[in-house]
Amino acid sequence: MPTKKVLIILSDAHSFPLKSTSSNTTTTTPQPTGFFLTELAKPLSKLLSAGHEITFASPKGQEPAPDPLSESLLAFAGNFYERRRENELIERMRRENGFSSPRPFASISDDELRTFAAVFIPGGHAPLTDLGSDKELGRILRYFHGENKPTAAICHGPFALLSTRLGEGGFVYKGYEITCWSDAEEKVMEMVLGGEIEKVEGELRKEGAVMVEGAKEKMGGTTLCRELLTGGNPLAAEELGERFVRMVSV
């Protein structure tokens, strides 16, 4: 199987805005976040096992942080060994693959983009802060869309697709079937955290995406529409990784 280059998009954000209203006053507090560990590690592990070359990129090239919730044993259903394996993979990427200093988006020219076979965007709430409004990311995703190259995003990662609306012609995924972290799931998080969070599903729907949500997606099912593969929550990381590797490896 030939080695191919895969671009993984990360956020620079270590927090996202949590809005709360009391006595007719709205306040915004930074809620710690970052990449969701298993949503990055599972697809990444499968890409590496298939022999593909990984390049990490983010808006400004700052060191990414894990979402604290994603490192809890609860997120791994108590599986200490699985959590250790995934943390060890990220540590190896720090040592060997520039994970701590991703490529700034602007440093990746249109000519260099042609050397990449696919792009992947993991979740965590961090994309809500800086990916959906990044013009350079919009340029990158428009390239993969225009060339019909495999594109994958999971959970809050599909929020990054909104960056394409900043370019000529607007949102390029209008009419695409997409699965993401649903508004209903986000409302549960709002009750837990005690504030209002921007909604991925609602924003994508507003731009003309066809949202696919249901029991299958809640339990880890993924949605493939043309070149775009999406999943709704951490349970989808395994299936999304497997399907994405098959797309990349063709």
Read off the pLDDT of each residue in 220-232 and give the average, rounded to a whole number: 98
Its sign, for the CA torsion 32, 131, 128, 161, is: negative
pLDDT at 4 over 70: yes
CATH of residue 73's domain is: 3.40.50.880
Give the model confidence (pLDDT) of 85-103 as tens digits. 999 999 999 999 999 999 9
| Terminal Cα distance for the chain, rounded | 9
Give the model confidence (pLDDT) of 6-63 as tens digits. 999 999 999 999 998 777 788 899 999 999 999 999 999 999 999 999 999 999 999 9
Tally of structural domains, the chain: 1
Give the model confidence (pLDDT) of 127-183 as tens digits. 999 999 999 999 999 999 999 999 999 999 999 999 999 988 899 999 999 999 999
Q: Write down the pLDDT at residue 20.
A: 87
pLDDT at 1 over 70: no
CB 231 within 8 A of CB 219: no
Q: Write down the pLDDT at residue 75.
A: 92
Among 243, 250, 7, 14, which residue's Cα sits nearest to residue 128? 14
CB 160 within 8 A of CB 132: yes
Read off the pLDDT of each residue in 192-200 and give the average, rounded to a whole number: 95
What is the reported pTM? 0.96
Q: Write down the pLDDT at residue 26.
A: 82
Determine the structural domain holding residue 101 and report its residue range: 5-249
Q: What are phi and psi of 90, to 5 degrees?
A: -65, -40
> What amino acid occupies position 14?
H
Give the model confidence (pLDDT) of 60-91 as tens digits. 999 999 999 999 999 999 999 999 999 999 99
Separation in Å, CA 26 to CA 57, 173, 188, 193, 196? 34, 33, 20, 15, 10
Pairing of β 222-225 and β 228-231: antiparallel
Under DSSP, the state recorded for 46 is H
